[in-house]
Amino acid sequence: MTDVTTAPAPKPGILDIAPYVGGKSVLAGIAEPMKLSSNENALGSGPKARAAYEAALKSIHLYPDGRAGKLRAAVADHHGLEPDRLIFGNGSDEVFALLNQTYLSPGDNIVTGEYGFLAYRISALGCEAQVKLAPEPGYKAEVDALLAQVDERTKIVYVSNPSNPTGSYNSGEEIRRLHEALPPHILLVVDEAYAEFVVESDWETALPLAREAANIIVTRTFSKIHGLGGLRVGFGYAPLAVAEAVDRIRLPFNVSVPGLDAATAAIADEAHQTASRELVQTWRPRLTQAIRGFGFEVLPSAGNFILVLFRDGKRTAAAANDYLNSKGIIVRAVGGYGIHDGLRITVGTEDQNRAVIDALSEFAAT
Ligand SMILES: *Cc1c(COP(=O)(O)O)cnc(C)c1O
């Protein structure tokens, strides 16, 4: 019998964290569903990354290079960054977790937007920190609303730019204004997981701003444009002092041998990056226009996905989700973000996008 008074108890707050529910990947009775639920690369991984992954097979009995030397040099060279200021993680998710563990004491807080990416929050709660959410009435992080949440216990402000699941973005000017208004002891994390898909001319990467600042971290991932979500590789570009502090708690072999090798090769695969970007930039507006034509709201998106809102009072997101599932299409319900009338749909291949358009056209007629 379990005695509740003597059973091992998780530390305060752990059981208050809502379990993360990822994008579905199976549909009962359908052998090969179209998985458009996790913003993965519709073209898959590139040939150079796959060749490097296969070549890594001869080395999987060896521990990886804990310093990620080759990948570090490749990323630094590609983006023109100082190698020592890079932090590599098991996905950029691990970079967020490492930052939280390094800077958050119990009772501290992080600030992010109401619809900010859940990964920032999970590990912050695990540090017994609070999560303060700035309202996003326009489905977009607002500088003043973020600043209004900052208090004396705030240690980190997280902005995803572009943002998931809304697809909105902040201009370079907005990011600069946010940074200027923040006290210098607060870290500003700018998560640029979708940077490569942006076309808007007032968007800017925060990498040059981060180079000059003592409190900005920019993160990037190999999971989206490079199509390596299953290998878990991401990085942050941080002030040297931050990178060195984080490195004290980073476990020595946090990125695997195949992950390091495939990511290094992916950086050199310009053709795959270009094809991936062009697919999204071609189909994102077509999907948006078509679905708007059926009477549903589609938020403007700067990422490789769109967020469709079902709020005509007649057809719900849940019913649309069921209908898409019945056609073998898996998309992402975003109730976990508090958006109960929305479905997030990854931009897929041409065939997949046409299937989404056809299904929603039929659904609109129900
Ligand atoms: C997909 C995504 C990432 C990438 O996470 P990884 O752990 O690198 O796979 C980061 N931020 C946002 C907002 C994302 O949607």
Cis, peptide link before residue 162, omega less than 30° from 0: yes
* Least confident range of 19-23, 31-35, 203-207: 19-23
Mean pLDDT over 97-114 rounds to: 98
- Provide the pLDDT confidence category of residue 127 given band limits of 50, 70 and 90: very high
- Provide the pLDDT confidence category of residue 2 given band limits of 50, 70 and 90: low
- Provide the pLDDT confidence category of residue 29 given band limits of 50, 70 and 90: confident
CB 92 less than 6 A from any atom of ligand 1: yes
Of the residues 41, 223, 225, which should be mutated to test ligand 1's pocket, given the most ligand atoms within 8 Å of the CB?
223
- Provide the pLDDT confidence category of residue 239 given band limits of 50, 70 and 90: very high
CB 160 less than 6 A from any atom of ligand 1: yes
User: What is the distance between the alpha carbons of residues 264 and 305, in angstroms, rounded to a whole number?
Assistant: 26
CB 221 less than 6 A from any atom of ligand 1: yes
Measured between alpha carbons, how far is residue 173 from residues 166, 178, 356 in Å?
Answer: 20, 9, 36
Residue that terminates a domain, selected from 269, 301, 322: 269
Q: How far is the CA of 168 from the centre of ligand 1 (A)?
A: 15
CB 40 less than 6 A from any atom of ligand 1: no
What is the domain count for the chain? 2
Instruction: Please report the pLDDT score of residue 194 as a whole number.
Output: 98
CB 234 less than 6 A from any atom of ligand 1: yes
Residue that terminates a domain, selected from 269, 296, 325: 269
Q: How far is the CA of 219 from the centre of ligand 1 (A)?
A: 9
Return the CATH number at 277: 3.90.1150.10
Q: Residue 129 belongs to what domain range? A: 47-269
Return the CATH number at 112: 3.40.640.10
CB 191 less than 6 A from any atom of ligand 1: yes
237 and 280 part of one domain:
no
**Residue 1 scores a pLDDT above 60:** no
Q: How far is the CA of 101 from the centre of ligand 1 (A)?
A: 18
Hey, is 50 helix, strand or coil?
Answer: helix
Query: How does pLDDT run across 330-341, given as a tens digit for each residue?
Result: 999 999 899 999
- If one counts every other C-beta atom within 10 angstroms of the C-beta of residue 27, the result is 18
Query: How does pLDDT run across 302-341, given as a tens digit for each residue?
Result: 999 999 999 988 999 999 999 999 999 999 999 989 999 9
81 and 189 part of one domain:
yes
Q: Which of 307, 319, 306 is nearest to 348 (CA)?
A: 306
**Residue 208 scores a pLDDT above 90:** yes
- Provide the pLDDT confidence category of residue 21 given band limits of 50, 70 and 90: confident
155 and 297 part of one domain:
no
128 and 243 part of one domain:
yes
